[in-house]
């Protein structure tokens, strides 16, 4: 949807999506998120001595989105064809949107060159990317249709849309359902995994934040159970950690581009129709006029006496192009952080002499800015907490 012009088809995409992933609608997905989060915790426990946190987070984010969108279950110990398709599509997207990678962006008339001519290799590449994308749309959609025919799916996003139409779906509606589901899978898996990794980086760099969050969890929840969505309104500091991560590590530094639909003037600047505008989200999120000490990770900035504005209205996009899966992402991130901190400590790694290795937060360049891998160690907080993951 992010690449579509604003027209009738775009409005249909937004309308159908909103029926399934509104704040109210996503409540039905909470049991899925809780089961997948517990599975993630057990994977971390079994693999806590290896440097695989980033991979586990990506797998966790993908598993949740696959269950929500298609009621499709994955085995984290095996390669999965639909997961592989999603990864391939995101790799293609990263290559396709890389600035300066394609000569046709600099010399637009090259689009008229026949495919067989030298210099037109981008057309062959685009066709390969297109086939990957279509496969990533059609295969999981067909899986849902088969499951519904067997009476095995009545909760997923795709199944919900098919049932809501109460009739035979026309080709345009099938296309919209398939495209919106695939878009949320590809975008949601990649960004949620990357955002969670940035939160763990913050917890290692700022151990006092981790300690304060665990104190809150122990006070509100205790050690007889894991935090749940019902605790969210009481775990204000944990929720603030998720909010601060969205601001501190602005995942899409330039935001998502918009195209002007008519001539405009802003503060004396003339902006012609069809101008590509980037919202510079990272700059907005680190503006010292809005956020004090903007380069520091400070979840308390959202409480008294600061009451600084939450970042969600910026980082999830603006207006009609706001991220449709933002409520799912918020819920997933909150539950993952709350349950992880209830069970585990994540700390700086130590060298051969037992001294802590200094961790420096660094961002890698890209359309999606990722955190540079960092050394860490993970341990269960106590024997009482171990029982949740064995």
Does the pLDDT at position 166 exceed 70?
A: no
The predicted-structure confidence for 170-179, as pLDDT tens digits, reads as follows 888 888 899 9
Q: Residues annotated as binding site?
A: 323
Q: Are 241 and 337 in contact (CB under 8 A)?
A: yes
SS3 label, residue 289: coil
The predicted-structure confidence for 3-38, as pLDDT tens digits, reads as follows 677 778 888 888 888 888 899 999 999 999 999 999
Average pLDDT over residues 91-108: 79
Q: What is the pLDDT of residue 3?
A: 64
312-344 burial, b for 16+ CB within 10 Å, e for fewer?
bebbbbeeebebbbbbbbbbbbbbbbbbbbbbb
DSSP code at position 364: E
The predicted-structure confidence for 216-227, as pLDDT tens digits, reads as follows 999 999 999 999
Average pLDDT over residues 107-133: 87
The predicted-structure confidence for 302-313, as pLDDT tens digits, reads as follows 999 999 999 998
CA distance 241 to 293: 16
Does the pLDDT at position 215 exceed 70?
A: yes
Q: What is the pLDDT of residue 259?
A: 84
Enumerate domains of the chain plus CATH numbers.
8-386 (1.10.630.10)
Q: What is the pLDDT of residue 158?
A: 94
Does the pLDDT at position 278 exceed 90?
A: no
Does the pLDDT at position 153 exceed 80?
A: no
236-263 burial, b for 16+ CB within 10 Å, e for fewer?
ebbbbbbbbbbbbbbbbbebbebeeeee
User: Between 261 and 77, where is the model more confident?
Assistant: 261
Q: Are 227 and 235 in contact (CB under 8 A)?
A: yes
Q: What is the pLDDT of residue 14?
A: 84
The predicted-structure confidence for 230-245, as pLDDT tens digits, reads as follows 999 999 999 999 999 9
Q: Residues annotated as binding site for heme?
A: 323
The predicted-structure confidence for 48-65, as pLDDT tens digits, reads as follows 766 889 999 999 999 999
């Amino acid at each position: 949807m992010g690449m579509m012009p604003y027209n009738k088809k775009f409005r249909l995409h937004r309308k159908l999506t909103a029926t399934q992933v509104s704040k109210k609608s996503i409540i039905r997905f909470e049991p899925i998120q809780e089961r997948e989060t517990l599975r993630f915790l057990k994977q971390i426990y079994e693999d806590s001595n290896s440097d695989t946190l980033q991979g586990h987070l990506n797998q966790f984010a993908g598993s949740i989105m696959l269950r929500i969108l298609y009621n499709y279950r994955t085995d984290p110990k095996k390669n999965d064809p639909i997961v592989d398709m999603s990864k391939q599509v995101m790799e293609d997207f990263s290559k396709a949107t890389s600035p300066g990678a394609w000569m046709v962006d600099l010399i637009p008339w090259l689009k008229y060159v026949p495919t067989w001519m030298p210099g037109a290799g981008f057309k062959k590449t685009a066709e390969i990317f297109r086939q990957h994308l279509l496969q990533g749309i059609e295969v999981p959609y067909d899986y849902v249709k088969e499951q519904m025919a067997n009476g095995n799916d009545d909760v997923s996003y795709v199944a919900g849309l098919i049932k809501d139409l109460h009739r035979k779906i026309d080709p345009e509606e099938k296309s919209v359902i398939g495209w919106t589901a695939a878009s949320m899978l590809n975008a949601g898996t990649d960004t949620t995994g990357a955002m969670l990794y940035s939160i763990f980086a913050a917890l290692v760099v700022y151990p006092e934040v981790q300690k304060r969050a665990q104190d809150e969890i122990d006070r509100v929840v205790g050690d007889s159970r894991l935090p749940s969505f019902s605790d969210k309104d009481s775990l204000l500091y944990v929720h603030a950690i998720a909010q601060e991560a969205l601001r501190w590590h602005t995942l899409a530094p330039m935001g998502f581009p918009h195209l002007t639909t008519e001539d405009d003037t802003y503060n004396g600047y003339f902006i012609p129709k069809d101008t590509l505008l980037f919202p510079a989200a990272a700059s907005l999120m680190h503006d010292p006029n809005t956020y004090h000490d903007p380069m520091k990770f400070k979840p308390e900035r959202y409480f008294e006496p600061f009451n600084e504005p939450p970042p969600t209205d910026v980082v999830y996009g603006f207006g009609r192009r706001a991220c449709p899966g933002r409520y799912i992402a918020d819920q997933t991130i909150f539950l993952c952080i709350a349950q992880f901190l209830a069970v585990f400590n994540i700390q700086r790694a130590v060298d051969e002499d037992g001294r802590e290795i200094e961790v420096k937060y660094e961002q890698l360049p890209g359309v999606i800015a990722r955190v540079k891998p960092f050394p860490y160690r993970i341990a269960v907080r106590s024997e009482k907490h171990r029982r949740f993951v064995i």
